[in-house]
A and B are shown apart, each in its own frame.
Chain A
Amino acid sequence: MEGEPSPRSGAGFHQGSFPLAVNVDLQTDATLQVDISDALSERDKVKFTVHTKSTLPNFKQNEFSVVRQHEEFIWLHDSFVENEEYAGYIIPPAPPRPDFDASREKLQKLGEGEGSMTKEEFTKMKQELEAEYLAIFKKTVAMHEVFLCRVAAHPVLRKDMNFHVFLEYNQDLSVRGKNKREKMEDFFKNVVKSADGVLVAGVKDVDDFFEHEKTFLLEYHNRVKDASSKSDRMIRSHKNAADDINRIASTLYTLGTQDSTDVCKFFLKVSELFEKTRKIEARVAADEDLKLADLLKYYLRESQAAKDLLYRRGRALVDYENANKALDKARAKNKDVLQAETSQQVCCQKFEKISESAKQELIDFKTRRVAAFRKNLVELAELELKHAKGNLQLLQSCVGVLKGDT
């Protein structure tokens, strides 16, 4: 760890043993390996050090690192989305914007309230908030890394030029954030797209596989969205409960230090116990967050990406059908037949190309999903067990000691 992650000093972070929250790569391919080796939090941005190991001939070196910011990740993602070539693929979802605002605000508040609490309380609160900040930081890093890994593992996207530039070009890509006009355009596009999506979704698919996938994804996306928000809520209240236990522990400590009678010693012991159990409770909440909530959140975005793919295919299908109709009309009127034929062919080609790759992509999506859920659920259960057992042991020994005392 390089320095403390606090809004004033900037934060350092080493990607050490920190595990990926969501595993995305099905096959580990030694030809291109990407990770985020380091990250630094500055005032309002995070700088990620993207580290690449590759044997591919496109790169000048076998191993290199560049510093990237969140906006550059978004640029890369958008370039994939905008590329017609990739219309048949599930574009790996972009990492969410790093959000330290809440955490920073809390730290700031703590600084203001410094006078009103005891030194122990303050130190404790500060440590807690810093831990929280660090957790968010790690999560952010993990999300960005997942995105890169997904791209690097994708058979087509990994060959993308922009991606290579992103990995190799050792200077600022000077991507700028979108300006107002562009944002408005994006917004407009989205409205059109979702209106269109409803239209497209209403079209009965000729292919049973896609028809099934369409209904599945529609439902799945909604439910995963629901589960994700519910898990967030659950974890938040779990964290609150852990915070309460923490505060109870410190009050018990104050009670226990008032004098040195028997009861006070008793209070001190209970305080010590609560201090430990709340750490475990906080870990439980953090691990649930990591293994469950993050997984759900990732699949919320991934299922959205899959839906987008289906939309593109649906759009292509509608275009194709419209082209067919236009061709029929043209033939009946015997006017512009050639033009209609070409456009019909283009549409047909596009649709078939999308269909072909989309099928594989959707099958992969499912495989990936099952594998990720398996891994995370197993880990979740193991961690829950570990914590519960630790907690149990603590309680048992403490109850034993306390009973022995009385």
Chain B
Amino acid sequence: MDPSLSASDIASSTKPLSEASSPPVMDLLSEPASEASSAPMVDLLMEPASEGSSAPMVDILSEPASEASSAPMVDLLMEPAREGSSAPMVDLLMEPASEASSAPMMNLLMEPASEASSAPMMNLLMEPASDDLKEPPKPDIDPLADILNDTPLSEVKTPVAAMPQETPSDLFDDEPSELFAEPRQSNTAKQQQTSIFDEPDEDLFSEPLGEASKNPQNDFFKEALAPVAKASNVCGPLSDNYNEHPTDIFTEEAMTTLPSAVSTVSVNSKTNGVHSDEEEPDIFAEATVELSLDSPRNDRKKKGAAKPSAPAPAPSVSASASKPQPKTLEELEEEVEDKFELNISITNPEKVGDGMNAYMAYKVSTQTTLPMFRSKTFTVRRRFSDFLGLYEKLSDKHTPNGYIVPPPPEKSIMGMTKVKVGKEDNSSAEFVERRRAALERYLQRVVFHPSLLQDPDVREFLERDDMPRAHNTQALSGAGFLKMINRATDSLSKMTIKMNESDVWFEEKLQEVEAEDQQLRKLHIMVDSLVGHRKELSVNTGGFAKSVAMLGSSEDNTALSRALSQLAEVEDKMEQLHQEQAASDSFCFAELLADYIRLLGSVRASFDQRMKTWQRWQDAQNMLQKKRETEAKLLWANKPDKLQQAKDDITEWEAKVTQYERDFDRVSATVRKEVLRFEKEKARDFKKQIIKYLESLLQSQQQLIKYWEAFLPEAKAIA
């Protein structure tokens, strides 16, 4: 969302605030208190899960507030809210080991739906949140995780209930001014992140709520903001409104209006990408516990209000609630990694068109239970350049932030020309299959990346039927040429940058990556040569089989002749076996190496990116230094007319230096997390693939044994 849009939203939302908000509030408040109070608890647990970086206590208290208040405010909102939130929960319960990334995603989608008000607020409050993120968040998480993991459900409720009472004052004292001082100007800086939300917001709003609901939401949001702006007297207006309510509801609400800003912000900003692996289990643990909490709430809701939206999820939810929840983090993590709520397969490569304009189109099928997609299964057709286009988009957006964007397979003019020419021989079929598999792995890596999955371009790629043709991906186009020049200047500047590395970790990692790259390249060449020799062996075995068959036919001893033709058959089968083995050498092993050679390129790119931001910071510092010197000179020369200008410059550059330093820290943190994530993925990938490869070897040995065992009696029968 760009600033103008959010500004207009706010503007439009100001007017109907009183009418929209107050009457529903009354409605809801007359409704069971339990409902209102249970909702906070649910989100309580959910919120910290999704972002995990800002202080969890604050989040806990923050999120529910807006939720609790928004729910009562507009009856309409309530239902979609439940729907929105319960659906993913059920998914989670059914597949508890869903990808870690699904947690933040759910929150993302749920929030706009359920609380309406949070979405605009997020945009405004993004900046403080990202500031928060930079501070090491880990220690904060522990207490919460502990609570959630260790205590039975009933007990969880109590601490949650207790927390609000302890913390409110702090929250009010510290947060408001900070939070609201910056947000407006920060909007511009955050465009990229906000853009993520353009779609979900609108979709969700329009679907479950209908157009009409937009206004009330904004109104509520405005209303929530208003008291905040008045800082500490929040309690005043709110308590006025809610006089009749039980006190606990009130306290929650009061607290939440402020901190909700913090939490929601963190949810939607880059926090998604910032999740480190260690945090994921927490997220998940929290999410599950939250679900179990959800069930009683739903039950109550059913009894009390009999709302139609709740019943579907309720049974499964309660079923899972009875299951023992506490699991070790490791276990949970394992599960998270094993099952993924998004399966992508690429099938049916098809040649479209003729001659040199021909291209291969692939069927990209997605199966998912993630709520961010419109349906559970969908299929689109994509051509190779679309994949390249996706990479270009992702790389442009995420590489500057230090992310490791998985690269697609390289263009192969040779291979493609063969396909285009239309030779239906083995090598072109193999080329197509190899490319298909490579594209599949590429796409899987993309969606496996928690923050890349959030990218609207990825979703568009997977979902949209009429993909606009990707441009500038041709290897020999003008744009390609420009890119080449860019790359050349990049590498030139890389050489000129001399970074005195302050962080040993990065230095060592970079060296490791470079050494590994070298070794992998070497290994790749060797495996390729093995593939070549294995193919040769297959062909030669086939030739030998034919020769032996001929020899057998001319042999005049019947038993020997028979044995020789049997030997020919064995060799024939061996030919097949070697052929298959060569294929698995190539597909399981060589391709894996090729993938990782490419990926290591991306890893290096992210290191380079870090270096670039460092360089920018340093340049800014030098500039600042110069400006200061100018100021000093001016002072000396006593030229007051220019002095003001110099001072302005200094302030400007000081701001820049701070900004760039912050950028550098942020990119460094991202690179570090990304590298750790990459290494983890790499370890898993290698283990999986190599074991698969060894199993293929194992199978061919088993076949071999079978063949020779069948042959042995034939040989013995020669007389």
Contact = CB atoms under 8 A, between A and B. Distances in A.
Given A261-B683, A273-B694, A234 B519 contact: no
Interface in A325-343: none
A388 interface: yes
A244 B530 contact: yes
A230 B560 contact: no
A86 B16 CA distance: 123
Contact of B544 (A230, A373, A380): A230
Contacts of A395: 694, 697-698, 701
Given A251-B523, A263-B686, A398-B694, A373 B701 contact: no
A231 B559 CA distance: 22
B578 to A, nearest CB: 8
Given A263-B686, A395-B694, A402-B691, A388 B708 contact: yes
A131 B74 CA distance: 85
A378 B717 CA distance: 10
A377 B715 contact: yes
Nearest to B523: A251
Nearest to A262: B683
A237 B526 contact: no
Interface in A365-390: 366, 369-370, 373-374, 377-378, 380-382, 384-385, 388-389
Contacts of A402: 687, 690-691, 694
B654 interface: no
B526 A248 contact: yes
A391 B703 CA distance: 12
Interface centre among A254, A381, A391, A396 (most CB of B within 10 A): A381
Nearest to B556: A216
Interface in B660-688: 679, 682-684, 686-687
Interface centre among A236, A244, A247, A273 (most CB of B within 10 A): A244
Contacts of A227: 544, 547-548, 550-551
Interface string B698-719: 1001101100110110011011
A230 B530 contact: no
Interface stretch (A32-40, A218-226, A347-355): A218-226
Contacts of B537: 234, 237-238, 240-241
Contacts of B520: 255
A399 interface: yes
Contact of A378 (B530, B690, B712): B712
A333 to B, nearest CB: 46
B698 A396 contact: yes
The secondary structure that dominates the B interface is helix
Given A248-B523, A255-B516, A388-B708, A224 B551 contact: yes
A46 interface: no
A398 B554 CA distance: 45
B524 to A, nearest CB: 9
A60 interface: no
Contacts of A381: 708, 711-712, 715
A258 interface: yes
Give the contact-size bracket for chain A: 35 or more
Contacts of A378: 712, 715-716
Nearest to B691: A402
Contacts of A236: 540
A270 interface: yes
B541 interface: yes
Contacts of A251: 519, 522-523, 526
A45 B702 CA distance: 44
Interface in B542-578: 543-544, 546-548, 550-551, 554-557, 559-560, 563-564, 567
B336 to A, nearest CB: 16
A258 B712 contact: no
Given A241-B533, A381-B715, A259 B694 contact: no
Nearest to A218: B554
B150 interface: no
B718 A385 contact: no
A216 B559 CA distance: 16
Contacts of A366: 556-557
A399 B694 contact: yes
A219 B544 contact: no
A245 B533 CA distance: 10
Nearest to B564: A373
Interface string A246-280: 01100110110011011100110010010001000
Interface centre among A226, A261, A366 (most CB of B within 10 A): A226
Contact of B523 (A216, A237, A255, A259): A255
A266 B533 CA distance: 26
Contacts of B563: 373-374, 377
A392 interface: yes
Contact of B536 (A240, A245, A385): A240
A403 interface: yes
Contacts of B530: 241, 244-245, 248
A148 to B, nearest CB: 26
B467 interface: no
B554 A254 contact: no
B529 A244 contact: yes
Contacts of B449: none
Given A234-B540, A234-B541, A396-B698, A244 B533 contact: yes
A267 to B, nearest CB: 8
Contacts of A396: 698
A46 B520 CA distance: 44
B543 A234 contact: yes
A306 to B, nearest CB: 13
7 contacts: A230-B546, A251-B523, A374-B716, A377-B715, A391-B697, A396-B698, A406-B684
Given A406-B684, A406-B691, 18 more contacts: A219-B554, A223-B547, A226-B550, A227-B547, A227-B551, A240-B536, A244-B527, A244-B529, A245-B530, A247-B529, A255-B523, A259-B512, A366-B556, A369-B560, A373-B560, A373-B564, A380-B715, A405-B687
